[in-house]
Amino acid sequence: MREIKRGFHISFEGIDGSGKTTLSTNLYLRFKEKGYPCFYTVEPTFMRVGSLIRIHASRIKNVPQYYMALLFAADRVEHYERVIKKKLEKGYHVISDRYVHSSIAYQGGLLNDIEWVRRINNKVPLPDLAIYLDISPDKALNRKKKISGPFDNIVLLNKIRETYLSLVNMKELVMVDAEKPLEVVLEDVVEIIKNRLNIDL
Ligand code: TYD
């Protein structure tokens, strides 16, 4: 039997309103159009712990971030073991709308405890490529005007952005300027992936 080549795992990161979801779904469509097996997925998930997180995030204010960090990590283990790993093994490229670096930037940044957040997430592998969509919190909040979430606060978003930028400095994330128009951002992302995977996209 011919061995299947493992897929490539790409994650999208950024503060709320950075355009992650639009970008990652468009990229997914691009992969499909070109005939590559591809799978799009999102965290928090809609599985058991993910659903619990969604209830907390939308209804309860002031939930301790240590508690949230543990829930996100548990959701991620289930997500990786039951979904992501299996898809990669079957040769699908997996596009994650948020993954480990969301926990590092949000919970790690807000708690000033990045090392602990890394540790509780060390049961899942890092993605092959993590793309960070950079935007100022001002612009991001404007984009999201009608939607309010637990992190719709300029001070918190600045702190989270700062943590993302420190990960860019450490070369863990590849940064893309997300203040440009969507079509331009998409082409920038496609260029990065083409070079990394050596494929036509
Ligand atoms: P998401 O549904 O991606 O919101 P959006 O599409 O608006 O970016 O994520 C929900 C919230 O959960 C978002 O505010 C970021 C937060 N989050 C964390 O704080 N830590 C994590 O590990 C993850 C995956 C998400």
Give 12-53 pLDDT, tens digit per residue. 999 999 999 999 999 999 999 999 999 999 999 999 999 999
Phi, psi of 4, rounded to the nearest 5 degrees: -80, 135
- The CATH number for 9-197, chosen from 3.30.70.940, 3.40.50.300, 3.10.20.340, 3.20.20.70, is 3.40.50.300
Calculate mean pLDDT across residues 139-156: 79
Q: What is the pLDDT of residue 27?
A: 97
> Which atom of ligand 1 lies at the shortest distance from residue 21's CA?
6
pLDDT of 127 > 80? The answer is yes
pLDDT mean over 184-197: 96
The answer to whether 108 touches 117, Cβ cutoff 8 Å, is: yes
Tens digit of pLDDT for each residue in 109-124?
Answer: 999 999 999 999 999 9
1 Cα to the center of ligand 1, angstroms: 41
3-state class (DSSP) for residue 134: strand
State in Å: Cα 13 to ligand 1 middle. Answer: 9
Q: What is the mean pLDDT of residues 55-60?
A: 71
In this structure, the strands spanning 129-134 and 38-42 are unpaired
Query: Contact at 8 Å (CB) between 124 and 77?
Result: yes
What average pLDDT does the chain have? 93
Ligand 1 atom 4: residue of nearest CA: 16
Centroid of ligand 1 to alpha carbon of 5 (angstroms):
31
Mean pLDDT in residue range 169-187: 97
Mean pLDDT for the stretch of residues 140-144: 86
The H or E element spanning position 94 is strand 93-97
Supply the pLDDT for residue 151.
76
**Other beta carbons within 10 Å of 88:** 20
Residue 64 is predicted with a pLDDT of 86
Compute how many other C-beta atoms are within 10 angstroms of the C-beta atom of residue 151: 16
Judged against a pLDDT cut of 90, whether residue 178 lies above it is answered with yes
Nearest to 36 by CA among 156, 173, 190: 190
Q: Output the pLDDT for position 143.
A: 84
Question: Angle CA(173)–CA(192)–CA(81) in degrees, nearest 5?
Answer: 55
Q: Is the model's pLDDT at 88 over the cut of 60? A: yes
Nearest CA owner, ligand 1 atom 22:
103
Q: Report which residue type is found at 18.
A: S
pLDDT, greater one: 132 or 150: 132
State the Cα–Cα distance between residues 154 and 84, nearest whole angstrom: 33
